[in-house]
Homo-oligomer: A and B are copies of this chain.
Amino acid sequence: MPAPDQLPLDPIAEARRQWAAHGWEAAADGMAAVTSLMRAQQIALARVESVLRPYGVTFARYEVLMLLFFSRAGSLPMAKIGKRLQVHATSVTNAVDRLESADLVRRTPHPTDRRTTLVELLPRGRELAANATKELNDQVFAAPGLSPAHVTSLVEVLAQLRHEAGDF
């Protein structure tokens, strides 16, 4: 008669315990925070991507679409997209390449600055953005697996972290 499967302990709480046991109490909470961030991001990303998969886009590309969706002119320079999304320029090149292949956006020359490439949202991209957002809102964002108070607290704490890091 085998014992019932032992419930796995929280691996992060376990690591925190090890940190303390080795005399690293001063760093244990910080370690737990960083490790939790890594894991929580993986979980959230997986949820989002599973909703987006049928639309043929990833979260990175979806973010580009939404930025264009919200823009007055329906187009933005590559560089501005990178700054807003806070990713490297080459990541924008990558995302726009794939969006362009899927006929969701297209590249246009900037009228006055020939260094700049504008990314323009095409009708199919706009439609996809609207539909995917509806589904993301329903299935993920409106029910993120946390109480509303915890969601707010999370956003505030992370805003402070981002601010400390010079994000804004």
Q: Which residues from chain A sit less than 8 Å from chain B, CB to CB?
A: 7-15, 18, 24, 26-34, 36-45, 48, 59, 66, 70, 83-86, 133, 136-138, 140-146, 148, 150-155, 157-165, 167-168
Given A29-B155, A143-B30, A144-B30: A36 touches B168 (CB 8 Å cut-off): no
Shortest beta-carbon distance, A168 to chain B, in Å? 4
A31 touches B168 (CB 8 A): no
The 9 A-B pairs with the shortest beta carbon distances in the complex, nearest first, are A30-B141, A27-B137, A27-B141, A41-B41, A145-B164, A36-B158, A30-B144, A10-B168, A31-B141
A146 touches B164 (CB 8 A): yes
A43 touches B162 (CB 8 A): yes
Max chain B CB contacts within 10 Å: which of A137, A141, A160, A164?
A141
Given A9-B168, A11-B86, A11-B168: A37 touches B44 (CB 8 Å cut-off): yes
What chain B residues lie within 8 Å of A34 (beta carbons)? Answer: 44, 48, 140-141, 144
27 A–B contacts, CB within 8 A, in A order: A8-B168, A10-B167, A11-B167, A11-B168, A12-B162, A13-B159, A26-B137, A27-B136, A27-B137, A29-B151, A30-B137, A30-B140, A30-B142, A30-B143, A33-B146, A33-B158, A36-B155, A37-B37, A38-B45, A39-B158, A39-B167, A42-B86, A43-B165, A44-B161, A144-B161, A145-B165, A157-B157
